[in-house]
Structure 1
Amino acid sequence: MQAFDQIQELWQKHEVEVKFSADEMLQQAKKEVNGLKFKSALNIIGMAASFIAIAALWIFFHFDSWTTHVGISITIITIGIYTLILYRDYRLIAKTDFTAHPQEYLNNLKTYQLNRYKLYNSLYWFYTVALSTGIFFYFIEILSHFNLVQKIIAIGLTFLWILFCSTILRRAVIKREKERIALLIEKFERISGQISAPEKF
């Protein structure tokens, strides 16, 4: 047992440094950035599709109550604003080439990280409250056509969906994105350090 403890102590003191070339690290980081860009683009497409679907509903269906028009207006404006915010953040990571402007890209990535933090915190609650308000006004007319059981099911499912998105789903997305972006920033900082460091002979 003493021999094992000694081996373990020696192993802990021994530092193993695995060196990757800057090109290998850059290729890996670019692959991760492409994945991040693809996911961001999918989010934008999904939000744009929701905007178009709700706008089409508003144009092609006849609603009698003014509350329905108010509800759809609030929902469309909210989705539109959120889509523009997502597009602004997407441009931060898509417009600059790291190899041409490494420091600018790093700054953009850090701004993107900060924007995502705001998006999933203060801006998210604005989005949730505005969307819930829009749904509330929309439901005033729509629920009048339902019986009591259907009303309870519709309100209950809507409430549970908003609750799920605001708690479990939101926390999981925040954790995953936070780790992913922090790791990317660290990788690009290491690549910058390797590129800018003078070669030792």
Structure 2
Amino acid sequence: MQEFDHIQSLWQSHSVEIKISSDEMLQQAKKEVNAIRNKSLFNIIGMLVSFVAIIILWLFFDFNSWTTHAGLTIFLSAIAVSTFMLYKSHKLIAQHDFTTNPNEFLNSLKSYQLSRYSLYSKMYWIYAIALSLGITLYFFEILSYFDLWAQCLIIVFTFGWIVFCSTLVRKAVMKKEKERIGLLIEKFERIGNQFKEQI
């Protein structure tokens, strides 16, 4: 038993430190930063496409009810505000080059993390409520063209989809993004520490 305790104490006192060069770490970080930037850009493009599609719908269909126009106005306002918020977040990581000044980029990345958290927690609920209100007002006229069973199906599917996205999808995206950005921040902190050690 003493031998086992002795081997265990030797094992615990022996720590293996894996050193990754700062160049390798920068290459890994570069891939991850580009993936985050691209995803952010695709989110903005998707919102802009939605905005344009709704404007085209509004221009080419003759809506008679004021509720439809009010619903589309609320819908477009929600999309415009969210797109602006996404653009502000995107600028935080797009404006700094992490290869020239990792510390400055690290600060931007931390600000980006906070802005994304704010977007998914506070802003998301405002967006979801605005979309729900806009869809409700829009449905007053549109659903009158459908049979009762189709109306019920459309309402259940639409609001079921909003609830699904607001709960499960939003939480999964928040968790994944938090982990991803957290790991990236940790890498940049290690890169900064390695540069300090080399100086």
Give TM class, smaller chain: over 0.9
Match of residue 153 from structure 1:
153
Match of residue 70 from structure 1:
70
Gap runs ≥5 in structure 1: none
Instruction: Give the whole-Å Cα distance in 2 for the aligned partners of 1:66 and 1:4.
Output: 81
Are 2:110 and 1:97 equivalent residues in the alignment? no
Give CA deviations for 1:8-67 in whole Å, capped at 9, x if unaligned: 553333211000111111111111000111111111111111111111000111100010
Per-residue deviation at 1:84?
1.1
TM-score by length of 1: 0.93
Gap runs ≥5 in structure 2: none
Per-residue deviation at 1:145?
1.2
TM-score by length of 2: 0.94
Amino acid at match of 2:41: A
Instruction: Give the whole-Å Cα distance in 2 for the aligned partners of 1:12 and 1:43.
Output: 47
Amino acid at match of 1:175: K
Per-residue deviation at 1:70?
0.5
Are 2:30 and 1:30 equivalent residues in the alignment? yes
Match of residue 44 from structure 1:
44
Secondary structure at 1:120 match in 2: helix
Amino acid at match of 2:83: T
Instruction: Give the whole-Å Cα distance in 2 for the aligned partners of 1:102 and 1:188.
Output: 7
Are 2:116 and 1:116 equivalent residues in the alignment? yes
Identity of aligned residues (%): 58
Instruction: Give the whole-Å Cα distance in 1 for the aligned partners of 2:2 and 2:72.
Output: 73
Per-residue deviation at 1:106?
1.1
Instruction: Give the whole-Å Cα distance in 2 for the aligned partners of 1:156 and 1:7.
Output: 64
Amino acid at match of 2:50: S
Match of residue 144 from structure 1:
144
Match of residue 130 from structure 1:
130
Instruction: Give the whole-Å Cα distance in 1 for the aligned partners of 2:146 and 2:4.
Output: 73
1:109/1:140 CA distance change after superposition, 3 Å: same
Structure 1 stretches (4+) deviating beyond 3 angstroms?
A: 1-10
Are 2:86 and 1:79 equivalent residues in the alignment? no
Per-residue deviation at 1:153?
0.1
Are 2:174 and 1:174 equivalent residues in the alignment? yes
User: Number of paired residues?
Assistant: 199
Instruction: Give the whole-Å Cα distance in 1 for the aligned partners of 2:112 and 2:64.
Output: 43
What is the root-mean-square deviation in Å for CA atoms of aligned residues? 1.6
